Amino acid sequence: MSPPSEDKCLELLKKHDAPENIQKHCKKVRDVAVLIGKELNKERDRVDMELLEAASLLHDIGKMKAKEQSGEVGHGDLGYRILQDEGYPETASVVRKHPVVKILKGIDDWTIEDKIVYYSDKRAREDILSLDERFAGLIESYGDTPAKVEELEKCKSKARELERELLTKIDVPSEIKN
């Protein structure tokens, strides 16, 4: 099945109890992803814009269930399961890879849509931020032990490499210039 339309994505977010702030964040991440995807499509990369838009809008669909279960299974994996069950396996696969620590396992097998959704999520909360600002917020929220802070710092340097990989190929849109 092709990826869900924008209306369907918004319906799915509501169905799975995404509050207003998460919906707003998801739309902002989608905006960043679309800016990057369109520019890359002018170059040699071939980005599936329908898939990119759906996966960026739905990337946090597992957040509410993850909170309910007090974090036993990560929100990326829960989002993956939800979207598999809803009949969108391709979108599910992109959503699975977006959580911050997933980059530490290596991204050689990531698709271009996987990379853009991961990176765009690290450039926006409810507004567009720099990678530094976004990671400062992540460290504040989740860096409750020195080991966790160190792990997030590693993620940040990998995200910086990904930023170089994606943005050096394009004319960076002014909205996302640092």
Return residues touching Fe ion (CB under 5 A).
60, 121
Q: How far is the CB of 121 from Fe ion (least distance, A)?
A: 4
* SS3 sequence of 147-176: HHHHHHHHHHHHHHHHHHHHHCCCCCCHHH
Helix 112-121 to helix 89-96 angle, to the nearest 10 degrees?
A: 50
Q: Can you spell out the DSSP letters for 62-123? A: THHHHHHTTTSS-HHHHHHHHHHHTT-HHHHHHHHT-SGGGGGG--TT--HHHHHHHHHHTS
d(CA 86, CA 92): 9
* Closer residue to Fe ion in complex, CB, 13/166: 13
Q: Which is nearer to Fe ion, 39 or 60 (CB)?
A: 60
- CA proximity to 25, closest of 173, 128, 94, 159: 128
Residue number with CB closer to Fe ion (113 or 121): 121
Minimum Å distance from CB 22 to Fe ion? 8
Number of residue whose CB is nearest Fe ion: 121
Least spacing, CB of residue 99 vs Fe ion, in Å: 9
The residues facing 124 across adjacent strands are 128
Least separation in angstroms between CB 104 and Fe ion:
17
Q: What is the nearest approach in angstroms of Fe ion to the Cβ of residue 23? A: 11
Nearer to Fe ion, 53 or 60 (CB): 60
For residues 60 and 90, which CB has a smaller minimum distance to Fe ion in the complex? Answer: 60
